[in-house]
Structure 1
Amino acid sequence: MWRTSRTPAGAGTLRVSARDGVVRGEAWGPGSEWLLEQLPEMLGAADDPDAFEPRHRLVAVTRHRRPGLRLTRTGLVLESLIPSVLEQKVTADEAYRAWRLLVRKFGEPAPGPAPERMAVMPAPRTWALIPSWEWHRAGVDNKRASTILRAVRVAGRLEEAVGMEPGAAQARLELVSGIGPWTSAETVQRSHGAADSVTVGDLHLPGIVGYALAGDRDADDSVMLALLEPYAGQRHRAARLILLSGRAPARRVPRMPRGDIGRL
């Protein structure tokens, strides 16, 4: 697996391989040392899956079928926050396309012998200087672009949130207009490996959890949170296992994630 990151030490490329139960990491660029130091947590070393106790048969069976599953911690906020903002109110394919176009055009080539066209995401100042027509060309509307621009102006303060507890980190992220509970949860799930930061405000997840645990395909956030209450402290892990179970209600009409309305 190849990965690029803009670390506190600069751009870096990471290559991770596994053979016979041994994981090997190699890294290049100014951020290489930081990436190798962070690698154990990226692979879930800071997670404690034994703290989780299944309360439903479906969850227990899925956990049994996925031995060794861990929540990972990247230790980086912006690289999860910006893609999460791009996912607000659009399909995943649209968000992935926007991220790919913007990173390839305004990022920098990945250090080391990385795969062709692999790039490191832009620095905060570069994000701030992207012209409005380039956002439009990437399919990013003004509300999402403006949220990203507000976030990168306080990038240092947002990156500090990685040293906070997940709840406090979410609160700091939500001080930026346009970032609400959906985006902040999606971010800290990755940056912090937050086991309890369940995503609310999503059009898919409540119905999936409701159907899996109670046969309620029309469940809303309040019903989902009530069903996940027995997993307090581990609600995100429970939701992940439910998603991995493949037990989702059939939809007659495709639905898109709502994302955050924020305070625009």
Structure 2
Amino acid sequence: MVRAIGVPAGGPGEWHSCAVTVTRRLTPPERYAFERTVRPLLVPKHDPCGLVREDGFWLAMRTPDGPATLHLAREAGELVATGHGPGGCWAADRADAIAGLRDDVSGFPALAARHPLVGRLAKTFSGVRLPATGVLFPRLLRAILEQKVTGKEAHRSYRAVCRHFGEPAPGPLALVLPPDPVAVAATAYWAFHPFGVEQRRTQALLRAAQVAARLERCADAAEATVRLTALPGIGPWTAAETVRHTYGDPDAVSVGDFHIPNTVAFALAGEARGTDERMLELLEPFRGHRGRVCDLLAMGGIGAPKFGPRMPLRSFSRF
């Protein structure tokens, strides 16, 4: 039931006009792993747009109805979702998807049983669900910044971009809203240089920002993937990284990743190295949940043997 604070309640499931906040109570599935489910929505260590702490999960959003901050907290076996700001009703209505409660795993155990390791991991992490935010551009921004660089470099750039473009988010915490694509599109490419983002990634980001409103209207992951990969500088890897948590697509495979083909080849076939083609071949028995299998391998700490030096950390802002 959703109820706006300070507004008389109606029948079960009835909406009320929004005041400052709107609250909704959700019932998670058995063994639901709350923190593991929502953590992928945040950049590791520090995300200016959200955080996980003792009182729950907080996420600042630009919704179709305006700025919002969503708070998810566990309470007596339930999840209490509270939306703050003009977009608070939209955020609360979307809260079950953001919490991964719309993720359908009913057919996955049978597929997972086709490989002993996948079957074991599926049982171990059965409480983890795939979240779906319903807003595309923030995830696309992060995916573009993560192209062809280390995670530390990308996340450092992401934090810098969010701080530069960020506006105060509604609610009690000092979060910032994700960058407005209109503001990003109006910025010269060289302005991103101090954030550690070179011209190639910046131009891909600017092109995406220019058509962000159209991208947000995509009906599903398949349509979004087609539209995204039609943009110069955005390939299947960036599209998969974007739609996985925008639409909760369990089949999105990050083709072109530096590590995942080796991980899949090693975990499923005992091969130290693998190509994208070999990865897709090994994942084919799990079609419909191929991305979920990759996530399970990561959660289980599975990795191929490492050879050679690590990729160095760089700073384009110092070039």
TM-score (normalised: structure 2):
0.76
1:232-251 alignment, distance < 5 Å: 232-251=287-306
Give distance in 1, aligned partners of 2:95 and 2:139.
16
Contact kept, 8 Å, 1:185 with 1:197, in 2: the verdict is yes
Q: CA deviation at 1:255?
A: 4.6
Partner of 1:16: 72
Q: Where does 1:66-77 land on structure 2 (aligned, <5 Å)?
A: 66-77=125-136
Structure 2 CA distance, aligned partners of 1:157 and 1:178?
17
Aligned residue number for residue 256 of structure 2 = 201
- Alignment partner of 1:125 is 2:182: yes
Relative to its length, the structure with more helix (as a share) is: 1
Question: 1:7, 1:179 → 2: CA distance?
Answer: 24
Aligned to 1:259: none
Q: Higher relative CO (CA 8 A, sep ≥ 6), structure 1 or 2?
A: 1
Letter in 2 for 1:63: A
1:89 aligns with 2:145: no
User: What is the match of residue 37 of structure 1?
Assistant: 93
SS in structure 1 of the partner of residue 160 of structure 2? helix
**Separation of aligned partners in 2, 1:67 and 1:21:** 17
SS at match of 2:133: coil
Q: Secondary structure at the match of 1:17?
A: strand
Per-residue CA deviations over 1:63-111 (Å, capped at 9, x if unaligned) read 1111222111111111111110000011111111111111112110111
Q: CA deviation at 1:191?
A: 0.7
Q: Deviations over 1:166-210 (max 9, x none)?
A: 223201111111111000011110111111111100010000111
Which structure: larger Rg? 2
Per the alignment, residue 160 of structure 2 pairs with: 101
Contact 2:139 2:246 in 1 (8 A): yes
- Alpha-carbon distance in 1 for matches of 2:288, 2:252: 8
Q: Partners of 1:196 and 1:236 in 2: how far apart? A: 5
Equivalent residue runs for 1:62-211 within 5 Å = 62-114=121-173, 116=174, 118-161=175-218, 163-164=219-220, 166-211=221-266
AA at the equivalent of 1:213: L
Return 5+ residue gaps in structure 1 as ranges: 257-264
Deviating runs (4+, > 6 A) in structure 1?
A: none
- Cα distance in 2 for residues equivalent to 1:131 and 1:156: 20
Q: Helix, strand or coil for the counterpart of 1:222?
A: helix
- 1:261 maps to none
Q: Paired residues, what number?
A: 252
**What secondary structure does 2:217 align onto?**
helix
1:133 CA displacement: 4.0
**What letter matches 1:39 in structure 2?**
A
* TM-score between both structures, scaled by the size of structure 1: 0.91
Contact 1:58 1:245 in 2 (8 A): no
C-alpha distance in structure 1 between counterparts of 2:311 and 2:170, whole Å: 39
Distance in 2 between residues matched to 1:15 and 1:42, nearest whole Å:
11
Per-residue deviation, 1:140: 0.4
User: 98-107 or 126-135, which moves further after superposition?
Assistant: 126-135
Cα contact 2:136–2:216 (8 A) shared by 1: yes
Structure 1 letter corresponding to 2:73: S
**RMSD across aligned positions (CA):** 1.4
Write the letter of the residue equivalent to 2:136: V
The gaps in structure 2 that reach 5 residues or longer are: 1-56, 313-319
Letter in 1 for 2:68: G
Q: Structure 2 CA distance, aligned partners of 1:235 and 1:200?
A: 11
2:138 maps to a residue whose letter is: E
Q: In structure 1, what is the Cα distance between the partners aligned to 2:207 and 2:190?
A: 18
Matched to 1:7, the amino acid is T
The aligned counterpart of 1:26 is 82
Within the candidate set 269, 274, 278, 1:219 is matched to 274
Contact 1:124–1:152 under 8 Å retained in 2: yes
